[in-house]
Amino acid sequence: MRFKELGKSGIKVSNIAIGCWAIGGDKFWGGNEEKQSIEALQAAVDNGITLIDTAPGYGSGVSEQIVGKAMKGRRDKVVLATKVGIPIGPDADGACHSDYEVIMRQVDESLERLQTDYIDIYQIHWPDFLTPVDETMAAMAKLKEQGKIRAIGVSNYDEAMLAAALDCVQIDCIQPQFSLLHTVNQPIMEFGAPQGVGVLSYGSLGSGILTGKYKEIPTFKDGDARTEMYGPLFQEPMWSKIQQLLVVLREIAEAHNVPVGQVAINWTAQHPLVSSALVGARTAAQAEQNAAAGEWDLTDAEIARINEAHTQIFGGGLLGKRAVWSGTRAKKYKRG
């Protein structure tokens, strides 16, 4: 497994991480089986992955609870990353809240679910357009001073938001969506790098389409994340373009005698601006397969070949759309 320093935090993370949205078992992923999820998390750690990324919003706390159970007796072997801001339970309103009181309350709730007395990387899950950034970052700095968290991160921010946060406190990492099929966030990665901001990227496999497992356009249930967040990938014209790219990825995979998905993971993980590429896994076999991508490297020539094919197929532009929070509070803010 490759390892990288996370920005200026002093924390070393595995270059491939396990993302835990799916194991929350909420409506986006069609349920979940706790025992299977625990086995997946433990398999990831047993195969070299040290970074586990979760959030209260993943299944209304279920994902954090499962991570806590899975890492009992293994806490010293892992870097735990979670998030703050998305209310759960009766307070859920579809928006992110990052005011001082919410952060101070939610951190203790996360610590309890994770069965730990500190969080390695604590991230603002989405922008909060109503709370002043200095209030948000004062709370995060206070948690770091108290020893409840080791590093401060933000997720789904743009450059202006990141700059405002950096004016208040050192931001150790950002979490943007970034993959072969979503490159539009590269500018914020480039913006943060000179200021010591690491990158935890999500969406490495494009919700599974970059594994090559779909032979024809699939049909998903209403509300499935692959329809809501990744819908355009499973529609024309993107579907056919992705199939063209997969031809190149398969040839490289065959040369290394590895699954196609590992090529896509390594393209992201080996990007010079990426500290760790998050990849979801619902079974131990998936976790082992994802971790195995960290045991070999794409050559410079192979990366160049993928990039050339990418340019020819997609036209050389940045793919995807910026994540924009459109919840209740954001709408209020935009109305003034």
Instruction: Kindly list the catalytic residues.
Output: 58
Angle in degrees, CA 141, 74, 64, rounded to 5: 55
Classify strands 3-5 and 12-14 as parallel, antiparallel or unpaired. Answer: antiparallel
Q: Which residues are CB-contacts of 46 (< 8 A; sequence separation ≥ 6)?
A: none
**Could you tell me the sign of the dihedral formed by the alpha carbons of 92, 97, 98, 103, in that order?**
negative
What is the DSSP code string of 114-183?
Answer: HT-S-EEEEEE-S--SSS-HHHHHHHHHHHHHHTSEEEEEEES--HHHHHHHHTTS---EEE-B-BTTB-
Residue type (1 letter), 323: A
Type and span of the H or E element at 31? none
Label residue 128 left, alpha or beta by phi (over 0 means left) and psi (-120 to 50 means alpha). beta
| Buried-state track 201-236, b at ≥16 Cβ within 10 A, e below 16 | bbbbbbbbbbbbebeeeeeeeeebbbbeebeebbee
DSSP state for residue 54 in the 8-state scheme:
-
CA 3 to chain centre: 17
